[in-house]
Chains A and B, each alone.
Chain A
Amino acid sequence: MNSKTQNKIAIGGLYGIAGLVVLILLALLGYILVSGVPQLSWHFLTAPGKAFLKGGGVGIQLYNSFYLLILAMLISFPIALGAAVYLYEYAKDNWVTTTIRTAIEILSSLPSVVVGLFGFLFFVVKLHLGFSILSGAFALTFFNLPLLTRSIEDSLRTISDVQREGGLALGLSRWETVTRVILPAAVPSILTGVILSAGRVFGEAAALIYTAGQSAPALDFTDWNPFNISSPLNPMRPAETLAVHIWKINSEGIMPDAKAISSGSSAVLVIAILLFNFAARYLGKRLYKRLTSA
């Protein structure tokens, strides 16, 4: 067999593999959307779940997912921002910095179930927070921190050193250079990173099973006092999210329409992730145009 036929066969094979992979991936997306979208309705998205009967919705779970996401982001964003600024703008290139980077990498490679178990041990049991939104938000923070830190650091890396030198040459301190010059320039790509990590947090379940709990008590959406147990804002109530709900009803659910509810919930999750992705791209580009002269 000469090298030309070999070449043709190999290239053909690669076409085949790539085609197969596209087929698998599209079939996956297609299956989720085709089986899930017909389940979606206003009622499904807003009604509370039913334990034994048909026709329950995922309203509370959907709300919990967003509430947890916002809380987790509120806690993790400032920490990740500070850590990234120190790592990229201040830290010297020595063994201490290398060790810290390694620690962050280890945190990002920990299985999320281990992070969840630590959250269970520390927040739920030791600090007596119980199965609560707060415990869940902390667990999600740990899960999110390394990724967000890395993505913000990458954003800082894209800002050219000319900007830093310019700031320092104008007599600004390093901190002022960072807050007045570098961060505004990095906002678009930081925002993109934040939204993409929000997508990951939104779908996380393993870290939440033993921290935010697996039950979704009824909420009273007219009561906005965070200290009342049925208030949607109360951070101390157990809160099953949409992703946990899918797992829960598939492993121990007893409602007759568990499959339909899981299909619908999966579709909601995937559509939400899609929206996060598009929003990240669109907003990033838009902001970049707005904030720079490009």
Chain B
Amino acid sequence: MKTTEQLEAKLKRRSKAAKLEIWGRLVSLTALMLIVAVVVAIIGFVASKGIATFTSNHVSLWDFLSGKSWNPGVNGANGKPEVGALPMIVGSFLITILSAIVATPFAIGTAVFMNEISPNKGAKILQPVTELLVGIPSVVYGFIGLSVVVPTTRAIFGGSGFGILSGTCVLFVMILPTVTSMSADALRAVPRYYREASLALGATQWQTIYKVVLRAATPGLMTAVVFGMARAFGEALAVQMVIGNAALMPNSLVSPSSTLTSVLTTGIGNTVMGSLQNNALWSLALVLLFMSLVFNLIIRLIGRKGRLQ
């Protein structure tokens, strides 16, 4: 009797391979969960610190979003601390939208050129160069902005040369490679027979590009542009080096101003943890986080819409 029981137990026991399988599955699942935990932790921590301005320092959300003077630590005329983040929010949006407006035609034009007009030159020259430039560190862009763009704007428009215009120029060059290579991917995804059908109908090459290829690739192109905008919005150091860092409402494109990221990078090291000055900065970080989620959502919506067509 004992031997049959032993045999049964032996057969029911997990084999070495099955144990390994469970172990491997568990290990890889743990790794994945770790990443998810990181995402949750980042959002949770930044949100809890960012909300403190409103909950423990009793600043109203509206004052924060619409106030024009940023001077935490000093009480304004109404006896409340001056934590108006509008100048930074406006600065960030302005610089993002302007650089996207400038970069989009260049990026899409280049993508069309390397995909539709001259695939040979595109593959040989443009593609490697754009791919390489995607990887250039942002501080290098900032340094070039500081040593080339700022003096140039100073010479042309006077003033200090620091400001939205210089920031736009730097961000334009910075997001250009990213948007170009993503646009090229979008164009590449348009099936070849679309073009053939259009050309067979007697359309010229430009008509084919304009009325067929670009239309078919619109969701992908929009994703590329929004992606570039998200990158521009979140860029910190390159912008901080050329924007002038004055927390004032930008009254012209060449006056020193600031963005959410530039105030964060310069400020967070000079404030004491837990103080209002510090909490207000975390609220800016929360705005930044929120906007990055919004950009993510937009990209997702465009993708979904593109799939339905």
- A-side residues, CB < 8 A to B, are 3-4, 6-7, 10-11, 13-15, 17-18, 20-22, 24-26, 28-29, 31-32, 35, 78-83, 85-87, 89-91, 100, 102-107, 109-115, 117-118, 120-122, 125, 142, 145-146, 149, 172-176, 178-179, 196, 199-200, 202-206, 209-210, 243-244, 246-247, 250-251, 259, 262-263, 266, 269-270, 273-274, 276-277
Task: Give 22 CB contacts A-B under 8 Å.
Answer: A13-B109, A17-B105, A21-B176, A25-B129, A28-B144, A79-B34, A86-B28, A104-B39, A107-B38, A107-B39, A109-B234, A111-B234, A112-B234, A173-B17, A175-B25, A203-B140, A205-B137, A205-B139, A247-B139, A247-B241, A251-B241, A263-B147
Does B205 contact A199, Cβ atoms closer than 8 Å?
Answer: no
Binds A, one of B3-11, B55-63, B246-254, B289-297: B289-297
Which one of B41-49, B69-77, B152-160, B189-197 contacts A?
B41-49
Main secondary structure, interface of A, reads: helix
Q: A7-B205, A105-B296, A120-B268 are in contact. Are A203 and B31 (CB under 8 A)?
A: no
Task: Give, as a whole number of angstroms, the nearest-CB distance from B246 to chain A.
Answer: 14
Question: Quick check: B117 and A114 within 8 Å, CB to CB?
Answer: no
Contact B139 A243 (CB under 8 A): yes
Nearest A residue to B235 via CB reads A111
Within 8 A of A (CB), among B117-139: 117-118, 125-126, 129-133, 135-139
A174 to B31 Cα, complex, angstroms = 17
- With A86-B31, A107-B35, A110-B42 given, is the CB distance from A266 to B143 under 8 Å? yes
Provide the bound-state CA to CA distance between A100 and B224, in Å. Answer: 23
Which partner residue on chain B sits nearest A277 by CB separation? B132
Contact A117 B28, beta carbon cutoff 8 Å: no
By the criterion of a CB under 8 Å from any partner CB, how many residues of chain B are at the interface?
88
Task: List the B side residues contacting A176 at CB < 8 Å.
Answer: 17, 20-21
Closest 10 A-B residue pairs measured CB to CB?
Answer: A111-B234, A203-B137, A82-B31, A175-B24, A17-B109, A18-B113, A86-B28, A7-B204, A10-B206, A113-B236
CB-defined contacts of B137 to chain A, threshold 8 Å = 202-205, 243, 269, 273
Smallest CB separation, B91 vs chain A (Å): 15
Known: A15-B113, A25-B129, A112-B234. 9 other contacts (CB 8 A): A4-B204, A24-B176, A79-B31, A83-B31, A100-B35, A173-B24, A205-B137, A206-B261, A247-B142
Tell me if A110 and B31 are in contact (CB < 8 A): no
B146 in contact (CB, < 8 A): yes
Interface members, chain B 194-245 (any A CB < 8 Å): 204-207, 209-210, 230, 233-237, 240-241
A145 near B126 (CB under 8 angstroms)?
no
Tell whether, in the assembled complex, residue B117 and residue A14 are in contact, meaning their CB atoms are under 8 Å apart: yes
Query: Interface on B for A, CB 8 Å cutoff?
Result: 17-18, 20-21, 23-25, 27-32, 34-36, 38-43, 45-46, 49, 105-107, 109-110, 112-114, 117-118, 125-126, 129-133, 135-140, 142-144, 146-148, 173, 176-177, 180, 204-207, 209-210, 230, 233-237, 240-241, 261, 264-266, 268-269, 273, 282, 285, 288-289, 292-293, 295-296, 300
A210 to chain B: which residues have CB within 8 Å? 268-269
Task: Closest B residue to A175 by CB, please name it.
Answer: B24
A82, B173: Cβ atoms closer than 8 Å: no
What's the nearest-Cβ distance from chain A to residue B38, in Å?
Answer: 6
CA–CA, A266 and B292, complex, Å: 28
- Assembled-state Cα–Cα distance A23/B125 (Å): 11
Instruction: Report the Cα distance A117→B48, complex, angstroms.
Output: 13
Contact B113 A82 (CB under 8 A): no
| Cβ contact within 8 Å between B206 and A203 | no
- Distance from A118 Cβ to chain B, minimum over Cβ atoms (Å): 5
Query: By the criterion CB–CB under 8 Å, are A246 and B143 in contact?
Result: yes
Residue from A4, A7, A115, A145 having most chain B Cβ neighbours under 10 A: A7
Task: State how many angstroms separate the Cβ of A36 from the closest Cβ of chain B.
Answer: 9
Known: A110-B234, A206-B265. A149 touches B35 (CB 8 A): yes
User: Would you call A117 and B46 a contact (CB within 8 A)?
Assistant: yes
Asked if residues B46 and A114 are in contact (CB atoms below 8 Å), the reply is yes
B103 to chain A, nearest CB (A): 10
**From residue B43, how far is it (CB to closest CB) to chain A in Å?**
8
- Whether B268 lies near A85 (C-beta < 8 A) is no
Contacts of A202 in B (CB 8 A): 137
Min CB–CB distance A195 → chain B (angstroms): 11
In the assembled complex, which residues on chain A have CB atoms less than 8 Å from the CB atom of B41?
118, 122
**B38/A7 in contact, CB under 8 A:** no
The complex places the Cα of A125 from the Cα of B230 at a distance, in Å, of 29
Contacts of B140 in A (CB 8 A): 32, 203, 246, 266, 269-270
Query: Which residue of chain A is the closest to B18 with respect to CB atoms?
Result: A173
In angstroms, how far is the closest chain B Cβ from the Cβ of A187?
Answer: 17
Q: Decide if A114 touches B29 in the complex (CB within 8 Å).
A: no
| CB atoms of B144 and A121 under 8 A apart | no
Q: How far is the CB of B183 from chain A (nearest CB, A)?
A: 12
Report Cα–Cα, A100/B265, bound state, in Å: 30
Closest residue of chain B to A82 (Cβ to Cβ) is B31
Which B residues lie within 8 Å of A100 (CB)? 32, 35-36
Q: Which residue of B lies closest to A19 (CB)?
A: B113
Which residues from A are CB-within-8-Å of B29? 82, 86, 90
In the docked arrangement, what's the CA distance between A24 and B236, Å? 22
Query: Is there contact, CB below 8 Å, between A82 and B241?
Result: no
Q: Which residues in B have their C-beta under 8 angstroms from that of A262?
A: 143, 147
Tell which of A17, A111, A250 touches B292, judged by Cβ atoms closer than 8 Å. A111
Residue contact B133 to A174, C-beta cutoff 8 Å: no
